[in-house]
Amino acid sequence: MDEEEEERIVGQRRSDAGSCGGPGRVAAAAAAATAEPSDACEYGSGHNTNRGGSNTGPPHPESLMELPPELLVEIFSLLPGTVLPNVALVCKKFRQILNTETIWRRRCVEEFGMREDLRKMEATGVSSQDLYVKRVVPRVKSGRFMKLLPDYEHMDYRDVYTHLLHPYRHILGLWQPDIGPYGGLLNVVVDGLFIIGWMYLPPHDPRVEDPMRRRPLFRIHLLESKKATVECMYGHKGPHKGDIQTVKKDEFSTKCNQTDHHRMPGGRQEEFRTWLEEEWGRTLEEIFHEHMQELILMKFIYTSQYDNCLTYRRIYLPPLMPSDLLQPGLFKGTYGSHGLEIVMLSFHGMSARATKLTGDPNVPAGQLTLDVDLSQPVDLPELDQQRNIDVLSRIILGIHEKVQREVEQPASDASACVGRAEEEADGAAAEETEVDHGACADACQSGPSGSSSSPEAQPFVLPLGVMARNEVYPRTCRKCFYGTGLIAGHGFTSPERTPGLFVLFDEDRFGFIWLELKSFSLYSRLTDHLPHAHAPSMERFEAMLRNMQSWTS
């Protein structure tokens, strides 16, 4: 593979290539590495310059090699790290300058976002329990705490770039684990001198506006031998041996080589109690709903069988378009007895869509949970009438029936219009066309701007009888739209889209009233910084969404 060859080139230490006036093979390598450096380094038309005493030209450097070292350091710092080893082949002077820490530190910072100083490094995001472990040293027959990290005083930024950041650059970003219907959200980032895979977990139900929780699943760092090592972070016994394999483009797998570290002394019962406390923030005795207990136990049995041996597929954050109703992105929302789940809100013309990143046995991860028609704004009735579920149902179901008719009979309506236009007189046909245009204008209002006449903030209250996991919800909203939500039986059986009301509260919160279920879901934005996650283009993002649905269909 080209990428593998490139990695080997970057990681390879070059032998001395001679001085600037070395053999012809050095000049050839320099030309290949720097795209004809003789042309790039010399001024004028490229003709040889007379360097003798008769030269009357300006006393300026005529090649890169004549520039002062501090200026060369600045120039080389701007180049991608992948080409710097080839630049070192040009001459001995370049090779010596490329040993400057400033150059490689800048590449680590700009290409991978690493901010820490290696000389003052304290590992971030990982507790001391994970960094230290009590080990017995046989020779001295005593127990002591030994640091698991290498001695970074003898490690430079070039080593970090060459042996850690560049070889594992392909796994940085957002990923969705293949855990059946449950899915998940993994964020792989450069965290200090580590590459860490953080599993993002929603807050405990129903505190939807609390920050996300993070759990490290694996980490990669350099040993003193300057070799990268992968460690599994799953379980409660500290880091242990793991492995990472790149299956194919935009997909990789993790494997734990010491799954006994995941076991607890009390067996499965203790593991379940610990998992329940972390996942739900409560004990099984505190969960009185029998169906909810079954769902929780089912999830524990299903997810724990993987032992952190998982396959991940890359996902992107949705691109921002000027016409978007609000900033697209990730939100956490309430889903009844299934708890809190993570969805991705994106905009596609006159539609707003929420796709599940985490799911449940009814509607799995990857499915389109909400589909909002921005061409169908809804004007809420007076506050006292909002409490009446029948009033809201009549409004939403009226729009739903109209939309269904437009979807089911567009061809027949068009042919009927053509037939009438051919049979009637020109004047009648013109009049009919005018009427049709008016009907089309009524049915095809622009989405976000269609409700611009509504006040910026209007009172909002849930109808009586509509269940909400969190009674603390905004009492004012900006806009409302007709939409549909996806419901299904256990095992994603008999899926269907049911009408509902999309409620935009502000830039960071929205809700959805499920009419048929008489339930309300509140969604709150994820505010975590997620680097290396933006989609290259809208086409790539939409292709990713289609693939996500096929993973769990």
Tell me: the pLDDT tens digits for 238-253? 899 999 998 788 999 9
Distance of CA 550 to the CA centre of its chain: 19
CA–CA dist 362, 335 (Å, integer): 11
How many helical (H) and strand (E) elements, i.e. helices and strands, does the chain have?
17, 21
pLDDT of amino acid 549? 83
Q: Which amino acid is at 5?
A: E
Interatomic CA distance for residues 146 and 132, integer angstroms = 6
Residue 178: count other Cβ atoms within 10 Å of its Cβ.
18
Q: Residue 164 has what DSSP assignment?
A: I
How high is the pLDDT of residue 451?
39
Q: How far is CA 118 from the centre of its chain?
A: 28
Under-50 pLDDT residues of the chain: 1-58, 119-151, 418, 421, 425-454
Predicted local distance difference test score (pLDDT) of residue 82: 86
- Length of the chain in residues, anyone? 553
The reported pLDDT for the residue numbered 94 is 87
- What does each C-alpha distance from 181 to 366, 450, 489, 538, 539 come to in angstroms? 8, 37, 13, 26, 26
Rounded to 5 degrees, φ, ψ at 314 are -70, 140
363 and 356 Cβ atoms separated by less than 8 Å: yes
Instruction: Tell me the C-alpha distance between 171 and 200, whole Å.
Output: 16
Report the distance separating Cα 272 and Cα 278, nearest Å: 10
Cross-strand partners of 213 = 201
Q: Amino acid identity of 270?
A: E
Distance CA 495, CA 488 (A): 4
Q: Which residues pair with 497 in a beta bridge?
A: 486
| Residue 522, token pair as written in the block | 């509140």
Specify the pLDDT at position 417: 53
Q: Residue 142 has what pLDDT?
A: 37
3-state secondary structure of 185: coil
pTM assigned to the model: 0.76
Q: What is the DSSP string of 417-460?
A: HHHHHHHS-HHHHHHHHHHHHHHHHHHT--HHHHTTTS-SSEE-
Sign of CA dihedral 332, 336, 339, 341: negative
Torsional sign, CA 294, 261, 202, 365: negative
In sequence order, what are the beta bridge partners of 342? Answer: 332
Give one word for 534, left, alpha or beta, with left for phi > 0 and alpha for psi -120 to 50. Answer: beta
Q: What is the CA radius of gyration of the chain?
A: 31
Helix axes 426-443, 410-423, angle to 10 degrees: 160
Residues 6+ apart with CB under 8 A from 479: 325, 377, 448, 451, 454, 504
Beta-bridged to residue 194, according to DSSP, are 191
Cα angle 522-528-532, degrees, rounded to a multiple of 5? 125
